[in-house]
Amino acid sequence: MTGKMKILSSIIIFFALLSASAAQGQNPRFERIDAFRIGFFTKRLNLSPKEAEMFWPVYNDYQDKKTRIQLDRRAIIRDFNQNEASMSDRELATLSDKLVDGMVRESALSVELHKKLKEIFPPAKVIRFYQVENLYKAQLLNELQSGRRQVQPGIEDPDPGL
């Protein structure tokens, strides 16, 4: 697995844990990250109270669904990695179809989000949303990378999932 793939996997796991923690009461670390995310989007999108009230349920639902799709794809890849040698061509074809289905579902989810964003925001703010989302991902990636660099050699990372 390449470095970028490991980082992407870490981000996917991070969002999965974030979603899971939201469902069962958050721990302080996830609460801080969630507060940062809310502040980041709210400030950079300059959300009015009405926009925020409409935006956050839509975006949180989108993130939850996207995370589930990405976790499904990871499970398919894990199944392939663990069982490739014993799988028939038919089973392998089924797995590849499931992977593509996940990509199609994720694309459809993005289209659905876009339609909902157009109902909430004016056109310029819809485009700004995509910019802010990319900035947030880059910022999160930087935070994850800097956190890893701070772990000293010989000392086990206390939270290897992030």
Q: Output the pLDDT for position 143.
A: 81
Q: Give the torsion sign (CA, 64, 70, 76, 80).
A: negative
Res. 144 pLDDT band, cuts 50 70 90: confident
Residue 98 confidence (pLDDT) above 50: yes
Residue 15 confidence (pLDDT) above 90: no
In angstroms, rounded to a whole number, what is the distance separating the alpha carbons of residues 112 and 107? 9
Integer Rg of the chain from CA = 18
At 59-73, the pLDDT tens digits run 999 999 999 999 999
Q: Output the pLDDT for position 2.
A: 58
Which token pair is 24? 């069962």
Q: Output the pLDDT for position 142.
A: 87
Q: Output the pLDDT for position 35.
A: 86
Cut 0.75: pTM above it: no
Res. 3 pLDDT band, cuts 50 70 90: low
Residue 88, Ramachandran bin (φ over 0: left; ψ between -120 and 50: alpha; else beta) = beta
Question: Which amino acid type is present at position 38?
Answer: I
Q: Output the pLDDT for position 25.
A: 53
In angstroms, rounded to a whole number, what is the distance separating the alpha carbons of residues 144 and 115? 31
